[in-house]
């Protein structure tokens, strides 16, 4: 009986550990994807400014894209911490 209880306890502890670490790793991957999206949007804005000018239609579109990327990551980040996702 004692051996059976130890087995269940060890199984429970292992399950708790897995459930604690897996979401943390998933959040790290999501944060990395957000950083990549924002970095790419920033690079695209710089290219548009260099090629078409700071106040060009193309640069304005890339600014809009950058703001959307930032807002999306901020929104996703808030939902992850609130537990709504």
pLDDT in tens, 67-78: 999 998 877 665
Residue entry with tokens 């959040």: 27
Backbone angles phi, psi at 55, to 5 degrees: -110, 20
Segment 27-39 mean pLDDT: 81
Pair 38, 68: CB distance under 8 Å: no
How far is 48 from 29, CA to CA, in rounded Å? 29
Range of the domain at 30: 2-82
How far is 12 from 44, CA to CA, in rounded Å? 49
pTM: 0.58
**What pLDDT, on a 0 to 100 scale, did the predictor assign at position 76?**
63
Segment 20-31 mean pLDDT: 62
Pair 62, 48: CB distance under 8 Å: yes
**What pLDDT, on a 0 to 100 scale, did the predictor assign at position 53?**
95
How many domains does the structure of the chain reveal? 1
Segment 54-77 mean pLDDT: 90
Q: What single DSSP character describes residue 56?
A: S
**What pLDDT, on a 0 to 100 scale, did the predictor assign at position 18?**
67
């Amino acid at each position: 009986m004692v051996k059976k209880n130890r087995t269940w306890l060890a199984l429970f502890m292992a399950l708790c550990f897995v459930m604690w670490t897996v979401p943390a790793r998933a959040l790290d991957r999501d944060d990395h994807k957000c950083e990549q999206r924002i970095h790419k949007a920033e690079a695209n804005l710089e290219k548009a400014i260099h090629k078409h000018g700071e106040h060009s239609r193309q640069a304005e579109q890339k600014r809009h894209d950058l703001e959307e990327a930032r807002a999306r990551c901020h929104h996703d980040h808030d939902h992850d911490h609130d537990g709504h996702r």
